[in-house]
């Protein structure tokens, strides 16, 4: 099982996390977020030295903006966390950019929203449905994951903490490939608790994907 740590921002914290070897780091380019990266010039020059796959997280951003930020910050992948159209996913895929499309989940019916995206996304990400775009720190009922039957592999997100490891072990879904964490591992917005993440990453990486 892979691990994505989202909402990274500060160079030393990023470097410390790199030493734990997560599979992905997420960087948020959504101005209302307390973890918004902005136009951080230090980060632009720092990120190329990071060996972990870097994911840019966007919410209803224009194609041109995504492309510019991807270049400026040396991003490997793009995560679309808003109401982005299929056409945008297609454009990004045509540029050879791996796409993660997030969907807000509260009931089995919500998985129907993924149907039109199955051919234009590399991964889906299932987060808890709330009025905001992610970052709620809340979980949804993971039992309803069994209602997802498409072939696109997915990341599980939404309020996941160190105390959830045992429950994660019980999820038996063939398309679950990664766990996405953020606020439950923070000492303050965008500053991650490295000790907690070390334990979490070690335990999650021992799990087999199906």
Q: Convert the pLDDT of each residue in 52-111 to its tens digit.
A: 999 999 999 999 999 999 999 999 999 999 999 999 999 999 999 999 999 999 999 999
Domain ranges of the chain: 2-205
Q: Which residues form the catalytic set?
A: 6, 127
Q: What is the mean pLDDT of residues 174-179?
A: 98
The CATH label, of 3.40.50.300, 3.90.226.10, 3.30.70.120, 3.20.20.70, for the domain at 2-205 is 3.20.20.70
Q: How far apart are CA 51 and CA 195, in angstroms?
A: 20
Instruction: Classify 137 as helix, strand or coil.
Output: coil
Count of beta carbons in the 10 Å neighbourhood of residue 115? 9
CB 82 within 8 A of CB 133: yes
> Is residue 209 over pLDDT 70?
no
Through-space distance between the first and last CA atoms of the chain, rounded to whole angstroms:
9
* Three-class HEC string of 89-129: HHHHHHCCCCEEEEEEECCHHHHHHHHHHCCCCCEEEEEEC
Q: Which residues of 77-110 are buried (b: 16+ CB within 10 A; e: fewer)?
A: bbbbbeebeeebbebbbeeebebbbbbbbeeeeb
CB 132 within 8 A of CB 156: no
> Is residue 210 over pLDDT 60?
no
């Amino acid at each position: 099982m892979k691990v994505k740590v989202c909402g990274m921002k500060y160079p030393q914290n990023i470097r410390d996390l790199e030493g734990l070897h997560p599979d992905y780091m997420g960087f948020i380019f959504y101005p209302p977020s307390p973890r918004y990266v902005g136009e951080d010039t230090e980060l632009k020059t720092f990120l190329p030295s990071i060996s972990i796959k870097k994911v840019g997280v966007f919410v209803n951003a224009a194609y041109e903006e995504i492309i510019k930020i991807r270049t400026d910050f040396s991003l490997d992948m793009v995560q679309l966390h808003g109401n982005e159209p299929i056409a945008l996913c297609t454009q990004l895929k045509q540029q050879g950019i791996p796409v993660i499309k997030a969907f807000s989940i509260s009931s089995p019916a919500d998985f129907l929203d993924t149907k039109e995206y199955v051919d234009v996304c590399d991964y889906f990400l299932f987060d808890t449905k709330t009025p905001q775009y992610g970052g709620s720190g809340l979980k949804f009922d993971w039992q309803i994951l069994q209602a997802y039957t498409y072939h696109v592999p997915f990341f599980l997100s939404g309020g996941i903490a160190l105390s959830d490891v045992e429950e994660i072990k019980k999820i038996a879904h063939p398309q679950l490939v990664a766990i996405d964490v953020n606020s439950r591992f923070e000492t303050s917005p965008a500053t991650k608790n490295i000790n907690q993440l070390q334990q979490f990453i070690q335990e999650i990486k021992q799990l087999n994907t199906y």
